[in-house]
Amino acid sequence: MSRFRFMRKPLLALIVFAVQVYKAGHRKDLPSFQNQDPTGRFGDPANPLLRMVVLGDSSVTAPGVDPLDAAWPRQIAIGLSDRFRVELLSVAVGGSKIRDVLATQVEQAILFRPDIAFLSAGANDALRATPMPRFEREYRQVLDRLHRGVPRIAVSGIGDLGSIPRLPALARSIIRIRGRSFDRAVRRIVHEYPGVVKTNTWSPGWEEFVTNPEQVFAGDLFHASAYGHRIYTRAALPAVEYLLANGHPVRSLQV
C-alpha cells in the first residue's frame, strides 16, 4: 500500500501538468496561427544543386512568422543561395511528436534524396508527457533510418520550454526541467551517430526567450516570432555550414 501511495504523487503531478498544458493550448483569448510550408527554391539556377529536407513540428512550419522568408529553414536556404541552387523541402507537420516523424515524415524525406536532413522535433514530446524511454527509442529509430539514407544530418536541440509565456507558472517550472532532460537525451543519442550535428539550445545566445518574450514569441504566446526565428537561424546555419565543410561530397553536385 505504501508503494502505491508513493507512485500516486508523480502520477498526479503528471496529470495536473497535462491538464494545464491542454488548457493553455486552448485559450480563447489568444490568436491562433496557421502552419506554413517553407518549401521553396533559392539561388541562381546556374549554381550547383543542393537539396535540403526539414523534418519536425511547428518549429519548422512557423505559425505566426511573417514574412515566411524569416522562418529559419528559409533563412538557411537563403544563406546558402550565393553558392548553391537550393531545393528546400519541408515534410514537417505542426504538433508532431517524434513518433509522428517516424511514422509519416522519414520516408518522405529520404525519397527526396537530400544532401542534408535537418530534424527539429522533441518539444511536443516534452510538453505532452511522452515517457522518456519511449522518446529515446523512437528518436533512435528516426536517426537509424536517416543515417542509412542521408549523407548529412543535423538536429535541433530542445530549449528552455519553460520560457513559453502561454503556459501557467506551475507547468512552466515542470516543462523547464523536462525540456532540459529531453535535450540531454537528444545529445546522448546523437553521440551514437558519427557525423550527426546537434545545435546547442542552452547557450547564452538563447537568453532572449526568457528576457525578451514580447519580441521573441508570436502573438499566440507559444510559437516563435520572426525575431525568434533569427535566433533559431543563428544556431542552425552554422550546423549546416559545418556539415558542408566536413561531410561527404555533395551528392547533388553530381546530378
Confidence class for position 14, pLDDT limits 50, 70, 90: low
**What average pLDDT is seen over the chain?**
90
Q: Provide the whole-model pTM.
A: 0.89
pLDDT at 39: 98
Q: Residue 245 pLDDT > 90, yes or no?
A: yes
Please give the full DSSP string across the chain, using - where no structure is assigned: -HHHHHHHHHHHHHHHHHHHHHHHHT-TTS---------EEES-TTSPEEEEEEEESHHHH-TT-SSGGGSHHHHHHHHHTTT-EEEEEE---TT--HHHIIIIIHHHHHHT--SEEEEE--HHHHHTT--HHHHHHHHHHHHHHHHHH-S-EEE-----GGG-TTS-HHHHHHHHHHHHHHHHHHHHHHTTSTT-EE--SSSGGGTHHHH-HHHHB-TTSSSB-HHHHHHHHHHHHHHHHHHHHHSSPPGGGG-
First vs last Cα of the chain: how many Å apart? 67
Confidence class for position 255, pLDDT limits 50, 70, 90: very low
Q: Residue 7 pLDDT > 50, yes or no?
A: no
Confidence class for position 62, pLDDT limits 50, 70, 90: very high
Q: How far apart are CA 101 and CA 52, in angstroms?
A: 16
Give me the torsion for CA of 167, 122, 39, 152, rounded to 10°.
150
Instruction: Please give the average per-residue pLDDT across 165-194, as a whole number.
Output: 94
Domain boundaries, the chain: 15-23+31-254
Candidates 3.40.50.1110, 3.40.640.10, 3.30.70.60, 3.20.20.140; correct CATH number of 15-23+31-254? Answer: 3.40.50.1110
Cβ-contact 96, 105 below 8 angstroms: yes
Cα of 222 vs its chain's centroid, Å: 14
Residue type, 179: G
